[in-house]
A and B are shown apart, each in its own frame.
Chain A
Amino acid sequence: MAKAISMREKKEKLDTVTIYIMGQGYKVPSSLTIMKAMEYAGFKLKRGVGCRAGFCGACATVYRKLGDYKIYANLACQTKVEDGMYLTQLPFVPANKAEYNLDEIKPSASTMLRFYPEIARCLSCNACSRVCPQDIQVMDYVQYSLQGQIEKAAELAFDCIQCGLCAIRCPAEIPQYHVATLARRLHGKYHMIAPDTLEQRVKEIEEGKYEKGFEELMSLSEEELKKRYVARDFIDQKKA
């Protein structure tokens, strides 16, 4: 497709590339991310934008490059534009999330299958892992979920930012990232048990053990409080 070039674009002095946003060509500075390039081109973003830092998964973008049959996908806020990219953002990913009461279920294969029976349909095609912008082995965590290896599934899926790209590519129609949430929550609740010291501290606070101490600290003048602050001892700052 030949792009029409306006007089304004001809005058642009910056080093530019041509990208096609939903089919329409724009000349944009070559140093920009896809997200900033769209804004430069004149889009006021509402969908497909969020943290702008690779953490929220709102900006999933699918693209091809001229003369290259491959489909690429990445985060618009973390990907530099390339000449000849033609792209579209995913404004929304339709994917059902099951509803459950975590207190009433157990970490097991049958739980995973009860809420997401479609995981049994996984074809092991690996399309999900290949598209994941976080380089997560998505197929593997789906398989672990199916086998009831909840811990492995949860850990593999930990870096998921819920962009939904995997679900869009899946021929078995699995909403992988929701499966991952269930696995992580089951693992976090039932396997990663909090140390007793936590419960003890909560109890102490509820029983009012620190009330006197607070009363005293809160009655101090700023000068006296400063003295206490400066005199604090430090413990274990080099360890975790």
Chain B
Amino acid sequence: MIRGYPESMRKSIDKVNKTRDKRIDQIMKDLTLEEREKVLKEFHPDYNPAYKRTISWGQNKGDYVPNEVADILESYPIYDPDEIDLSQIDYDVGILIIGAGGAGTAAALWSVYSGVPNDKILLTTKLRLGDCNTVMAQGGIQAADRPEDSPLIHYLDAMGGGHFKNKPELVKALVSDGPKIIKWHKELGLMYDQNEDGSFVENAGGGTSRNRMHCAKDYTGMEIFRNLKDEVINNEIPLLEFSPAVELLKDENGRVAGALLYNLETKEYSVVRAKTTILTTGGFGRLHIAGFATTNHYGATGDGIVMAYRAGAKLRDLDSTQFHPTGAAFPEQIVGLLITEKVRSLGAQVLGKNGEQICYPLEPRDVEAASIIRVTKSTDNYVETPTGMRGVWLDSPLIEEIRGKGTIDKNLAAMKRMFARFDIDMTEDPILVHPTLHYQNGGVELDENGYTSVPGLLGAGEISGGVHGKNRLMGNSLLEVNVFGRRAGITAAKEYKRGKKPGKLTLSHVKKTIEQLDALNIKKKRFSPIILPEYRSEAVRDRLIQLFESSL
């Protein structure tokens, strides 16, 4: 190893370092619309029929989705509904919020701000508070607050980014609430980057026509989340950790009326009855769609879409999945982790093994990802790591050639630290990248107040579909989480005051699900929600036995 790289990769790095001066002013042409379509069709996983099939039952029967999504929807519950005693209620609350990421914590806070007593709320989450995609967001959050910008321009950018398939009312809500969210965050004391003159630092992002990406160095999501978390504690909102929901409960009127929780440590279930339930369980990166590594946190297993689907909620836009063009491809230990788009925004080029550019670095995400996959799949212009992973170079040292020494320290501290842990200095040497699974574009259909198609069930955040159409722009999801988390909290507070008590709890919708699944005659029985992905070695899994529970 020489400064973090094996000799086999060093040869290629030398070429990259030698060609840098020549490339500094060289601008690659971006693709025409026809060229874009061609590369997408040939190389983007979304367009590859081998990775997809149609859903075979329920309200979205016939929708064309990734195999992994169809798999979890065509799965049996992980518990036996006949063994659950719903007559014993463990928590009887006004508002149940499932999933304490950005959307869940925002919903909890706005329920309180809207007058719901904190002890009438229950916030439950799968692992430790803070295990979520929100803390991982680096790049920024969009909000149209500059004089030369407007919510209308933000609207156009978001619609175009989503290939005009977004739900217009949701986009209107997203962009109109943007400045209000930033204002709220400032009241909470968020440290958004500011220029000398007091204006916010606002960067460009892929697909935005104005600079409106607010950021807090490259820890934007962490800065948002740790403030929301601090407020959840200050407001004494009741919280359960290590207690994922495994099913939604309904009442006899068909209204969602709570959930079944599972304590990951004691392995007991508990029953929550709630007037209103808000689903904020986030995305599905850990399903490893099309076999890709992912940027997502450990608990991102798409549980919410399964539970909502069984309860009868409509889904949408799950045919499109966001692959981020630049995930780490080396070293082995961090394969798949996010290399933020900001690296390219600041000037890094994308290069083949001999140090020549292979594509315009800031194409829309899907096009950029497909262009890189084209190189690694159909040419020999890629670099291979000792473990057989293929990638292309992202020329990070170029950033400081263009913008001066110290730029990376100041703007990309998290990135620099991640590579430094493996002896790689990204200010001196390029980094190897390959597309990685990043974001669930679609999900549970909502309206602008957070209602799903099922009474009693609200939603917000990455679990939802419609806000981003077929493709999300960077910075619009951190905004979505806050805008719709807030709206769901306000809506739930209204429902709370209206005061309809839920009726008798039932799992009859799950029994119906089982009947429908039985009729499909699926050969290999699968079970969901997944809750935790499986990463134990096969040798161990082959030998697993259950000791204590089976002897009871």
CB closest residue in chain B, given A229: B160
What residues on B are CB-neighbors of A213 within 8 Å? 150, 152
Minimal beta-carbon separation of B209 from chain A (angstroms): 5
- Let me know if A58 and B198 touch, CB within 8 A: no
Partner of A201, one of B136, B144, B233, B539: B144
- Let me know if B145 and A201 touch, CB within 8 A: yes
- Let me know if A202 and B183 touch, CB within 8 A: yes
- Let me know if A44 and B536 touch, CB within 8 A: yes
Minimal beta-carbon separation of A180 from chain B (angstroms): 9
What residues on B are CB-neighbors of A8 within 8 Å? 539
- Let me know if A202 and B179 touch, CB within 8 A: yes
- Let me know if B536 and A39 touch, CB within 8 A: yes
- Let me know if A187 and B298 touch, CB within 8 A: no
- Let me know if A50 and B183 touch, CB within 8 A: no
Q: Which of B128, B136, B198, B417 has the most CB of A within 10 A?
A: B128
Per-position binary interface string of chain B over residues 402-444, scored 1 when its CB falls under 8 Å from any chain A CB and 0 otherwise: 0000000000011001100110000000000000000000000
Q: How many residues of A contact B (CB 8 A)?
A: 77
* Cα separation A58 to B540 with both chains bound (whole Å): 25
- Let me know if B418 and A54 touch, CB within 8 A: yes
- Let me know if A55 and B136 touch, CB within 8 A: yes
What residues on A are CB-neighbors of B147 within 8 Å? 197
- Let me know if A51 and B298 touch, CB within 8 A: yes
- Let me know if B421 and A78 touch, CB within 8 A: yes
- Let me know if B172 and A40 touch, CB within 8 A: no
Q: Give residues 157-194 of A contacting B (CB, 8 Å).
A: 158-159, 161-162, 181, 184-190, 192-194
* Cα separation A58 to B299 with both chains bound (whole Å): 13
Indicate whether A225 sits within 8 Å of B164 (C-beta atoms), given known contacts A195-B198, A240-B201.
yes
Judged by a CB distance under 8 angstroms, whether A97 is at the interface is yes
Judged by a CB distance under 8 angstroms, whether B239 is at the interface is no
Partner of A32, one of B156, B160, B210, B333: B333
Judged by a CB distance under 8 angstroms, whether A94 is at the interface is no
- Let me know if A158 and B191 touch, CB within 8 A: yes
Minimal beta-carbon separation of A200 from chain B (angstroms): 8
Judged by a CB distance under 8 angstroms, whether B58 is at the interface is no
Indicate whether A185 sits within 8 Å of B164 (C-beta atoms), given known contacts A50-B127, A78-B418.
no
- Let me know if B202 and A50 touch, CB within 8 A: no
What residues on B are CB-neighbors of A195 within 8 Å? 194, 198-200
- Let me know if B186 and A194 touch, CB within 8 A: yes
Partner of B297, one of A51, A181, A184, A228: A51
Minimal beta-carbon separation of B336 from chain A (angstroms): 9
Indicate whether A205 sits within 8 Å of B337 (C-beta atoms), given known contacts A58-B128, A195-B200, A232-B156.
no
- Let me know if A56 and B191 touch, CB within 8 A: no
Partner of A205, one of B151, B223, B338: B151
What residues on B are CB-neighbors of A50 within 8 Å? 127-128, 130-131, 135, 297-299
Minimal beta-carbon separation of A199 from chain B (angstroms): 7
- Let me know if B536 and A189 touch, CB within 8 A: no
Judged by a CB distance under 8 angstroms, whether B168 is at the interface is yes
- Let me know if B191 and A205 touch, CB within 8 A: no
- Let me know if A235 and B202 touch, CB within 8 A: no
Q: Give residues 217-232 of A contacting B (CB, 8 Å).
A: 217-218, 222, 225-226, 228-229, 232
* Cα separation A43 to B537 with both chains bound (whole Å): 9
CB closest residue in chain B, given A206: B180
Judged by a CB distance under 8 angstroms, whether B268 is at the interface is no
What residues on A are CB-neighbors of B417 within 8 Å? 54, 134-135, 159
Partner of B536, one of A42, A185, A239: A42
Judged by a CB distance under 8 angstroms, whether B532 is at the interface is yes
Partner of A192, one of B192, B203, B209, B338: B192
Number of A-B contacts (CB under 8 A): 230
* Cα separation A217 to B129 with both chains bound (whole Å): 40
- Let me know if A235 and B295 touch, CB within 8 A: no
Per-position binary interface string of chain A over residues 102-129, scored 1 when its CB falls under 8 Å from any chain B CB and 0 otherwise: 1100000000000000000000000000
Judged by a CB distance under 8 angstroms, whether B234 is at the interface is yes
Q: Which of A49, A54, A201 has the most CB of B within 10 A?
A: A201
* Cα separation A193 to B187 with both chains bound (whole Å): 9
* Cα separation A164 to B536 with both chains bound (whole Å): 27
Judged by a CB distance under 8 angstroms, whether B264 is at the interface is yes
Per-position binary interface string of chain B over residues 268-297, scored 1 when its CB falls under 8 Å from any chain A CB and 0 otherwise: 000000000000000000000000000101
What residues on B are CB-neighbors of A51 within 8 Å? 131-132, 135-136, 297-298
What residues on A are CB-neighbors of B198 within 8 Å? 193, 195
Indicate whether A58 sits within 8 Å of B127 (C-beta atoms), given known contacts A31-B387, A195-B198, A198-B145.
yes
- Let me know if A56 and B135 touch, CB within 8 A: yes
- Let me know if B189 and A52 touch, CB within 8 A: no
What residues on B are CB-neighbors of A188 within 8 Å? 186, 188-192, 227
Q: Give residues 136-159 of A contacting B (CB, 8 Å).
A: 154, 158-159
Indicate whether A240 sits within 8 Å of B156 (C-beta atoms), given known contacts A53-B136, A188-B186, A197-B147.
no
What residues on A are CB-neighbors of B414 within 8 Å? 54-55, 159
- Let me know if B186 and A237 touch, CB within 8 A: no
- Let me know if B189 and A194 touch, CB within 8 A: no
Judged by a CB distance under 8 angstroms, whether A80 is at the interface is yes
Indicate whether A57 sits within 8 Å of B130 (C-beta atoms), given known contacts A194-B183, A229-B159, A237-B211.
yes
A residues within 8 Å of B by Cβ? 8, 31-33, 36, 39-47, 49-58, 78-80, 97, 99-103, 134-135, 154, 158-159, 161-162, 181, 184-190, 192-195, 197-199, 201-202, 205, 210, 213-214, 217-218, 222, 225-226, 228-229, 232-240
Report, nearest first, the 4 A-B pairs whose CB atoms are least far apart: A185-B189, A189-B189, A188-B189, A50-B131
**New contact pairs (13) apart from A44-B536, A188-B188, A234-B209, CB-CB < 8 Å:** A32-B332, A36-B535, A43-B536, A47-B242, A52-B337, A53-B338, A58-B130, A159-B414, A189-B186, A197-B146, A201-B145, A213-B152, A232-B153
B residues within 8 Å of A by Cβ? 127-128, 130-132, 135-136, 144-153, 155-157, 159-160, 164, 168-169, 172, 176, 179-180, 182-183, 186-192, 194-195, 198-204, 209-211, 216-217, 219, 221-223, 226-227, 230, 233-234, 236, 242, 264-265, 295, 297-299, 332-334, 337-338, 387, 413-414, 417-418, 421-422, 532, 534-537, 539-540
Q: List 7 A-B contacts (CB under 8 A).
A: A32-B332, A55-B219, A56-B136, A188-B192, A214-B152, A217-B156, A225-B159
